[in-house]
Copies of this chain bind each other. A is one copy, B any other.
Amino acid sequence: MSLFVIKKEMVELMPKIFIKQLGTSFEYSSKENLLQLLLDDDIFVDNPCNGKGSCGKCKVRLLEGKLPELTPTEVKLLKKDEIEAGIRLACLVVPEEDITIELLQKERKHKILTTGYMPDFQFKPAISKKVLEIEKPTLDNQISFEDSLCQVLGNKKVNWQILRECEGSYGIATGIFNEDELIALEAGDTTAHLYGVAIDIGTTTVVAALIDMSSGEEIATASSINPQKKFGLDVLTRITYELENPEGSIEELQRTIVEGINELIKEVCSEAKVNKENIYEITIAANCTMMHFLLGIDATPIGKSPYAPIFVKAKNILAKDLGIKAAKGARVYCLPSVSSYIGADIVAGAYVCELHKAKENVLFIDIGTNGEIVLSKGGKLLSCSCAAGPALEGMNISSGMRAAEGAIEDVVITEKGIELKVIGEEEPVGICGSGILAVVKELLRTGIVKKDGAFIKKENLEESDYRYDLIQLNGKKREFVLRATPKQLLITQGDIRQVQLAKGAILSGFHALLKQAGIEMNELYKVMIAGQFGAHLPADSLVGTGILPEAVRDKLVYVGNSSKTGAYMALMSLKARQEMETLAGKMDYMELGASEGYEKLFSQCLIFGDKN
């Protein structure tokens, strides 16, 4: 992404950060701390406290250049010999010039996930490989292959499909195990090749990460639009499609997402030069509807009262049975959901953010087409789901588009004009979710839009007012001219209403949850923003539009795509998987529509302004 400014400013030579062991460098311009700069550039540094300067984990060594003086916190958290060796805590220093640093965490640590927050955990996947020696039969001992194999395994039962696929390879072979169960057999010693894929299926976007399960390293990622888009943009329209096409639509939806997943697997395999026959497990986080679609299970009960799904439990199934192409015997692990509208993506997020271990009150929000909120009251979890609609993802907006090249992702309105930040080195062609939120924030700040969501009347403005030219009339409708030429980009009253509805939905859920738990705003310790999309919504926009109250501005923590991170953890740790299942079973769910006084609360929350 690059800064595209309409009024051209002079180009300054920007300072650089050199990373010694990567042999790379990057330029920086913002006055942010070193940790943030590194994370922004997709260089992962462990930071369990989220850069709050309390865990002392984000150590880097300064090799060349200068950094500001040691802070008192660094003096407290670092050992004397570490300080003498030039070690600093990245979250506490704001660099100002060219520096060269060395990353101090183990190779495998800082490469694990390229983005997003993840707690420390022990690698111990459900899937493992073991070399076996299978005795050959003789005329005196005409033992069957299966019996020879059973002997090596300590007389465990062998799945018959393995006998179909093993090609009777006696001698040295490699067994692939799912916990204790043999799921596949390969001739020779193949222990060097052990891969898995962690997948997040969003309603809009599907993300896949190819993982070397021996090291835990993420070696390739790919993402695509959810190909089920053709059946509807959101969960409910896809369920409606299923309802209206009783013949074969379940299979059609299933096939479509599986084809999408197979494409992504192909892509990551090709990027990392890995054979898909060496992918032994695929872990999947998704909302409850996407999970039903994936398994080819009727999702229509999710769309109608009493909104009870067919299943929420975790699933461990054969990839082959879903049509997913991977190793013979490969498994698919689907993370558990809580209810129709609190899916495995949210369970993953709550787990990744360690809500179940929180000693304070922590709020978790995943902002997407649905906004899901989980409140941890000292480890006890209560959740709700709000139908935010697709506006915050750039959909249902007149000039809306998804966050791709050419999308306006940030807007600043000044007396001198409008500054647009565009993704890629592109002319702007539309506006994505973070852009629409930014522009609404700016429209509110500048008073172009009032607290009730209506545009200010153009006739009430002086012609000399810089805002006068930014409003145009289309018949009786007022529109904001975001860009005049070469192609007009407008923000309509309808666009504002879409954002207003999303704001009302999320904010009312936020308040209802706090009320239900008996927690006051000031008793909240942290608010964690999840979702690939949420990561692009700055505090200014979230608070500036009133989606979240001003009081939580300084409590916001961005955790990235915690759904994918949860899938990753489930892939790399059987224990994490089991803990997520326990967490899902313990999370309470509050049906907002059924809660007392909700309609009134919702209409209050529609108002833009600082009362909330």
Contact = CB atoms under 8 A, between A and B. Distances in A.
A540 B147 CA distance: 43
A478 B137 CA distance: 47
A340 interface: yes
Interface stretch (A304-312, A361-369, A468-476): A304-312
A308 B145 contact: yes
A161 interface: yes
A258 to B, nearest CB: 14
A147 B313 contact: yes
Report the contact-size class of chain A (Cβ under 8 Å from the partner): 35 or more
Interface in A275-317: 295-298, 301, 305-313, 315, 317
A113 to B, nearest CB: 29
A164 B291 CA distance: 12
User: Looking at A142, A143, A164, A298, which has the most chain B CB atoms within 10 Å of its CB?
Assistant: A142
B591 A145 contact: no
Interface in A130-180: 137-147, 160-161, 163-164, 166-168
B312 A589 contact: no
B308 A589 contact: no
Contact of A311 (B163, B297, B315): B163
A314 to B, nearest CB: 10
**Looking at A139, A167, A297, which has the most chain B CB atoms within 10 Å of its CB?**
A297
Nearest to A320: B321
A11 interface: no
A120 to B, nearest CB: 31
A307 B146 contact: no
B146 A310 contact: yes
Nearest to A166: B310
A339 interface: yes
A594 interface: yes
A138 B138 CA distance: 64
Given A139-B305, A321-B161, A146 B296 contact: no
Nearest to A250: B164
A387 B132 CA distance: 36
A28 to B, nearest CB: 49
B139 A306 contact: yes
Contact of A137 (B297, B306, B313, B594): B306
B317 A160 contact: yes
Nearest to A305: B139
A589 B104 CA distance: 66
Nearest to A321: B161
Contacts of A306: 137-139, 141-142
B167 A137 contact: no
A308 B166 CA distance: 15
A307 B143 CA distance: 9
A142 B307 contact: yes
Given A139-B591, A168-B298, A145 B321 contact: no
Contacts of A144: 308-313, 339
Given A315-B160, A321-B161, A143 B297 contact: no
B160 A295 contact: yes
Contacts of A315: 160
A308 B297 CA distance: 43
A283 B339 CA distance: 41
A339 B163 contact: no
A429 B140 CA distance: 47
A137 B308 contact: yes
Nearest to A334: B160
A170 to B, nearest CB: 9
Contacts of A594: 139-140
Interface in A483-504: none
A140 B591 CA distance: 9
Given A139-B305, A142-B340, A163-B311, 8 more contacts: A139-B591, A142-B339, A143-B308, A144-B339, A145-B308, A146-B313, A160-B311, A168-B301
18 contacts: A137-B306, A139-B306, A142-B308, A142-B589, A144-B309, A144-B310, A144-B311, A144-B339, A145-B309, A147-B312, A160-B297, A160-B317, A161-B321, A163-B297, A164-B295, A166-B310, A168-B298, A168-B310
